[in-house]
Amino acid sequence: AQSVSQHNHHVILSEAASLELGCNYSYGGTVNLFWYVQYPGQHLQLLLKYFSGDPLVKGIKGFEAEFIKSKFSFNLRKPSVQWSDTAEYFCAVNANDYKLSFGAGTTVTVRA
Amino acid sequence: GAVVSQHPSRVICKSGTSVKIECRSLDFQATTMFWYRQFPKQSLMLMATSNEGSKATYEQGVEKDKFLINHASLTLSTLTVTSAHPEDSSFYICSAREVSGAADTQYFGPGTRLTVL
């Protein structure tokens, strides 16, 4: 079974700072990769996903993620965060059984 | 993106009673739906996979007789927590799987907060 590691438990940064959240997975075969966001009091929303093709994926709200197969990584980035980006971010992976394995999540707090 | 709804959003019940939670895919058909539990400040834990027209498959450690799942149509799955106890209090989230070409994505419902007194 695959596992997903998110390195940062809690990230605190100021508005306009750049954000990068790490995600590594352990599975040797073909994977589909996702980042979900959960804003306070709201449900999980899909930020972006990677299935194939260009390893640099652009999502909603200015987020992007890069799939580096050799590093088993799918890090999430945003060049300039806003206060409204305060949320919980989850990396998720599915392999050939279409079940999602989630990372533990990273809480991002953006200070105005 | 695709929309998934859950009902109710919040329920409080007495110990020993059963509670039914509905999950609907509103603008697409889903042969597969999933049920998760989320504990405070933690990630989602997959409980079971709900398959339209067949039995659900449960993850290890999840009691199938306690958490009854029915997926009677391509847009509706229900989770019934039977004989609920305080330790069943949790946030239950469903997702629906949309398969479009090579893309295979789960869309999540808003969750149901269950409190068992």
Q: What is the pLDDT of residues B44-81, one digit of tens each?
A: 899 999 988 889 999 999 999 999 999 989 999 999 99
Strand A10-14 with A106-111, pairing? parallel
Query: Could you tell me if A46 and A57 are in contact, meaning their C-beta atoms sit under 8 angstroms apart?
Result: no
Instruction: Please check the confidence at residue B43 and state whether its pLDDT lies above 70.
Output: yes
Out of B42, B103, B107, name the one closest to residue A51 (CB): B103
How far is the C-alpha of A40 from the C-alpha of B31, rounded, in Å?
30
Q: Which of B40-74 are b and which e, b meaning 16 or more Cβ less than 10 Å from the residue's Cβ?
A: eeebbbbbbbbebeeebebeeebeeeebbbebeeb
Q: What contacts A97, CB < 8 A, 6 or more positions away?
A: none
- Give the percent of chain B with pLDDT over 90: 76
A46 touching B (Cβ < 8 Å): yes
CA-to-CA dists, residue B108 to A20, B43, B61, B65, angstroms? 24, 14, 23, 24
Test B109 with A43 for CB contact under 8 angstroms.
Answer: yes
CA angle B13, B15, B20 (to 5 degrees): 50
The Cα of A75 is separated from the nearest Cα of chain B by a number of Å equal to 18
Instruction: Please check the confidence at residue B84 and state whether its pLDDT lies above 80.
Output: yes
Q: What is the total residue count of chain B?
A: 117
